[in-house]
Amino acid sequence: MEDISVLICDDSALMRNLIGRIIDGTEGMKVVGKAMNGQFAVEKVPLLKPDVMVLDIEMPVMNGIEFLKKRKENKWDFPVIILSSVATEGAAVTMQALELGAADFITKPNGSTSADLSSVADRLTELISSYGCQYARRHGRDVYPPEFFYQQAKMRRAEHLVAEKKGGDFLKDKDISSRPLFSSRSSTATLSERTSISSISNSVRPVLDTKKPSFTWTPPAKKDPVVITPMRQGGRIEIIAIGISTGGPNALREVFKDLDPKIKQPILVVQHMPAGFTTEFANSLNRICPLQVQEANDGDVLKAGNIYIAPGNYHIYVEKKGFNYVVRLSQAEQRNGHRPSADVLFESVAKEFQNRALGVIMTGMGRDGAAEITEMRKQGAWTLGQDESSSVVYGMPKVAWELGGVQKQVGLKEMASNINKLAIEHA
């Protein structure tokens, strides 16, 4: 198997080293180059031909937005993952980057604990493997699928947990306790970065071990879908619920731009996204969608033809109040490792609407939404799932299909037309 090749572009020596350690410590991917600004990256891309790029936004000489414009000008098609801050202004620029063709984004770590960095490492690995795998395979290269990296991350988390419970010396076991994490004498590191390097080096070594694990992986066998006999026939559609994760930002843009303005049903969307970004995400979708798109608020009365995006870090579900249905938000425990969770949304729709709903499950790692869209199907709801060939990660829709929760699998380019047809015919 070949490695997924990654180019890192960030003006911070700390971040370049941090990200490099995460990547080089993961079996199946490698760093092929680093650049301290967009201009250096432009010069390196033709030589390195990366499968995926990790790009900062705020940099001297040429920033991330300018690089994305240059990427478009040069007609480069490799995926770009944005490194973003969680500030409001950072969210707006991040959405601009997505509009310019960036594939997805990850927030920079804002803590120095092992847990903080472990979360960032897992998310970064997920995005690099998902987008990098899709790109590499499209160009005829043999690389591991995203599930390989997902299982590798699970193995590492379990290993860390066992070491902590046993009170063992994880660093000693990994033979990295005497290895410097970052070079504090780097000529490109600022004084504050050198201080950061010193303060976090001990806490991140367990997360960023550069010794790649011995990892054996067997591809899961394909399963025939379970045959489900719904409790009732599909009725008129009164609500549409969508669950989506990795690959979602651009997939939703593709679908929403082609939705029919005659759609009368309210549409609720769970897109796995961190807090602080969903307001701008909804605004960016609203600019291209013929329907009204907004971030959901607790107590919103569902209106015909309006689209409600779940806020980051909040579950979203529907509840009947008098003669109306309203949006409810909750910070209850995560489901399937997520908040918002597609399962929470689908569960409430199955309960409140039974066969009078349309459920859609799209690209994403893991299985969030699969169980409860299957419950929707059992209740008689109409359901669609994104197919394997067009999914960045065929995880969530695959599990839903195998459970029998998906009536029909469709490609991304056909998703909008299928939603339009069902929504209008069964209004």
CA angle 200, 206, 207 (to 5 degrees): 80
| Domain 239-425 CATH superfamily | Methylesterase CheB, C-terminal domain (3.40.50.180)
- Cβ pair 316, 323 in contact under 8 A: no
Strand partners, 364: 394
Q: Is 183 a catalytic residue?
A: no
- Cβ pair 275, 309 in contact under 8 A: no
Domain borders along the chain are 4-204, 239-425
Phi, psi of 270 (to 5 degrees): -105, 110
Reading the block at residue 193, the tokens are 């970065």
Neighbouring CB atoms inside 10 A of 277's CB total 25
Domains 4-204 and 239-425 belong to one CATH topology: yes
Neighbouring CB atoms inside 10 A of 331's CB total 10
**Residue-level length of the chain:** 427
- 10 Å CB burial of residue 236 (0-12, 13-18, 19+) is exposed
The catalytic residue among 118, 245, 348, 390 is 245
Q: Does domain 4-204 fall into CATH 3.90.1150.10?
A: no
The catalytic residue among 114, 368, 387, 391 is 368
The predicted pLDDT at position 181 comes to 39
3-class DSSP state of 314: coil
The predicted pLDDT at position 221 comes to 77
- Cβ pair 129, 4 in contact under 8 A: yes
Strand partners, 328: 317
The predicted pLDDT at position 120 comes to 84
Series of mean pLDDT values for 10-residue runs along the chain (427 residues) = 96 92 94 98 98 96 97 97 80 94 88 62 93 96 91 79 64 39 40 46 48 66 89 97 97 98 98 93 97 98 97 97 96 96 98 98 96 98 97 96 98 98 97
Distances (CA, A) of 231 to 82, 335, 363: 45, 26, 27
Report if pTM > 0.85. Answer: yes
**Residue type present at position 282:** A
The predicted pLDDT at position 301 comes to 97
**367 vs 337: CA distance, rounded Å:** 10
**31 vs 261: CA distance, rounded Å:** 45
**Residue type present at position 253:** R
The number of angstroms, rounded, from the C-alpha of 364 to the middle of its chain's C-alpha atoms is 7
- Residues in contact with 187: Cβ distance below 8 Å, sequence separation at least 6, in sequence order: none
- Cβ pair 9, 35 in contact under 8 A: yes
Rounded to a whole number of angstroms, the distance between the first and last alpha carbons of the chain is 50
**204 vs 198: CA distance, rounded Å:** 11
Q: Is 272 a catalytic residue?
A: yes
- Cβ pair 8, 54 in contact under 8 A: yes
**38 vs 45: CA distance, rounded Å:** 10
The catalytic residue among 129, 272, 315, 387 is 272
Question: Token pair 């020596």 is at which residue?
Answer: 13
Q: Is 426 a catalytic residue?
A: no
